[in-house]
Copies of this chain bind each other. A is one copy, B any other.
Amino acid sequence: MSSIARAPRSDNRLPRLLDEAARLFRQKGYHAASIRDVAAAVGMLPGSLYYHFASKEDLLVAVYEEGVRQISDAVVVATAGQSDPWRRLEAGCVAHLEALLRLNDYAQVVIRVLPRDVPKARSRLTLLRDAYERLFTDLIAALPLPAGVDRRYLRLMLLGALNWSQNWYHEGKDTPKTIARRFLKLLQVSLRGEE
């Protein structure tokens, strides 16, 4: 008895479904990308999608989960190559930004679709974001900093500046790597005092 479950079929279209959902959520935003858009992109009927996901919100959460996984991996891999705390943070920021601005639909959805815009999934999305940000909490915790520096605000400022770049970045100008380094430089030097 029992073993009613069976392995997924080899022609499973779920991966492509997620890919197209990520692409469309990134391109149009959550509300503007419809179930019908996603289904058409995969080449299936709108209703068929509900075999894989119970609701549109659940589909978004699945994309989010994959996005957090991918961007986390990118940051972990990038920082693993460095030992100096500042260089580790730099590598993490560069990886974060490259995923965010260029190469990753899933990661871009994580930053572009704001939890408050999807009330029914808000708490789940926020949890996923927070889990990711903890990587940066750790990177910043390892920094040798002058006494009195609030590490929480350092994280909020740095990640806020990086994430907001989705709103002004245009391919072709400065690279993500350059941007991340410029931001970090602004924090490292003192802007006050010497003219």
Q: Which of B156, B162, B164, B188 contacts A192 (CB 8 A)?
A: B188
| Residue interface bits A150-164, CB-to-B below 8 A is 1, else 0 | 100110111111111
Count of residues in A whose CB is under 8 Å from the partner chain? 40
From known contacts A144-B195, A189-B192, infer whether A161 and B168 are also in contact, taking CB-CB under 8 Å.
no
A160 touches B156 (CB 8 A): no
**Does A143 touch B at the CB level, under 8 Å?**
yes
Stretch at the interface among A15-23, A46-54, A66-74, A179-187: A179-187
A167 at interface by CB-CB < 8 Å: yes
CB distance from A41 to the nearest CB of B (A): 18
Q: Mark A31-60, 1 if CB is under 8 A from B, else 0.
A: 110000000000000000000000000000
Per DSSP, chain A at the interface is helix
Partner of A117, one of B29, B116, B179: B29
Question: A137 to nearest B CB, angstroms?
Answer: 13
Residue of B143, B157, B165, B195 near A146 (CB, 8 A) is B195
**Contact between chains at B194 and A32 (CB < 8 Å):** no
At the interface, yes or no: A77 with Cβ under 8 Å from chain B? no
- A83 CB, min distance to chain B CBs, angstroms: 16
